[in-house]
Amino acid sequence: MFRRLLESVLFPHKKINKTRLNNAINGKTIVVTGASFGIGSELCLLLSHYNVHLVLVARTRSVMEELAQKIEANGSTAAIIAADLYDDEQIEQTINQLLQLERIDYFISNAGKSIMRSLARSLDRYHDITRTNALNYLTPARMILALTPLLAKSKGTVINVSSMIVLLLPAPMWCAYQASKTAFDNWFRGNWAEWKHMGITAKSIYYPLVKTRMIAPNPKYANALAMEADQAAIRICRLIYRNKPAQKPWWGVAPQAASFFGKRLWNKYSYVKVSSKG
Ligand SMILES: NC(=O)c1ccc[n+]([C@@H]2O[C@H](COP(=O)([O-])OP(=O)(O)OC[C@H]3O[C@@H](n4cnc5c(N)ncnc54)[C@H](OP(=O)(O)O)[C@@H]3O)[C@@H](O)[C@H]2O)c1
């Protein structure tokens, strides 16, 4: 009960302004990576009520086929690109397929991989670093670079689905995920002015924990305070029609300030915590 109350304060229930969203996306082509599950899937369902053409990108074709049926039942159209975005050849094929589109009005870079593991348990797991970097940084950067001319022609918008963790100090256990998300966020924000010059709008959304498959394997998060996936998707819809470059929780400035002012304390505390685990 208390937990629910706290969640409703931290992640207040938001609604979509249907008129504004409709004005922004009706008749548009929207590419969503990581469309098969979690935030991406919820987002596609929400957008499908506004006569859009959705291009779904992820690995699990069967799930995307079911999603495409729901999208079409809601009055929109859907195309599926089933691709493993770790695989060089499949990334290239995905880009080529996307370049066949007449236009891309919104490219929502949402596919991602999270990992939480201590350094001690990561010594033989260099692949945690290569995989998180591949999916969270290198592949989206590669796709967006290749699609930039088409996005410019369409006067399109690129949205980076990011995490609050990139706004905080380096966190033990989260290094691989945080480094990859932070690298992409820096790359993305660094291009902002040039994209603007080309007529492309770039926006970022920084999530707290969201109740999806991504956090499910971690028992520590079973009772953690987290946003519902549909509410996370609603926040992307709102970002689409609102004239602001970024969205983060209303309390987002507090952990940022704590990171800035409590740097010494944080370093000391995190050292003790990790070293006490051996
Ligand atoms: N959940 C959170 O607490 C949280 C917090 C902050 C930020 N975020 C960010 O939100 C985004 C969406 O995460 P989510 O919570 O919705 O996670 P999710 O439910 O695990 O969904 C991840 C999506 O990415 C796709 N994907 C994963 N590996 C892929 C690959 N190799 N090739 C192609 N697609 C791949 C998955 O589809 P397939 O498995 O079908 O390929 C799935 O559709 C991520 O960028 C994440 O970093 C999440």
In short, whether 236's Cβ falls inside 6 Å of ligand 1 is no
Query: Which amino acid makes up residue 209?
Result: L
- Say if domain 2-251 classifies as CATH 3.40.50.720: yes
Within the chain, what is the greatest distance between any pair of CA atoms?
57
Atom of ligand 1 nearest to the CA of 84: 32
Report residue 95 CA to chain centroid gap: 19
pLDDT, one tens digit per residue, over 212-267 is: 999 887 887 888 899 999 999 999 999 999 999 999 999 888 888 888 787 777 77
* Residue 177 falls in the annotated catalytic set: yes
Atom of ligand 1 nearest to the CA of 136: 45
How many angstroms is it from 261 CA to the middle of ligand 1?
Answer: 32
Task: Show the DSSP H helices in 120-216 as ranges.
Answer: 126-133, 139-153, 175-190, 192-198
Residues with Cβ within 8 Å of residue 210, at least 6 apart in sequence: 38, 39, 226, 227, 228, 229, 232
62-to-37, 41, 58, 59, 66 alpha-carbon distances in Å? 11, 13, 11, 9, 6
pLDDT, one tens digit per residue, over 258-273 is: 887 877 777 776 655 5
Q: What is the mean pLDDT of residues 168-173?
A: 90
In short, whether 95's Cβ falls inside 6 Å of ligand 1 is no
Q: Catalytic one among 177, 221, 241, 269? A: 177
Query: Please, what is the average pLDDT of the chain?
Result: 93
User: How many percent of the chain have pLDDT more than 90?
Assistant: 82
In short, whether 192's Cβ falls inside 6 Å of ligand 1 is no
In short, whether 67's Cβ falls inside 6 Å of ligand 1 is no
How many angstroms is it from 37 CA to the middle of ligand 1?
Answer: 7
In short, whether 194's Cβ falls inside 6 Å of ligand 1 is no
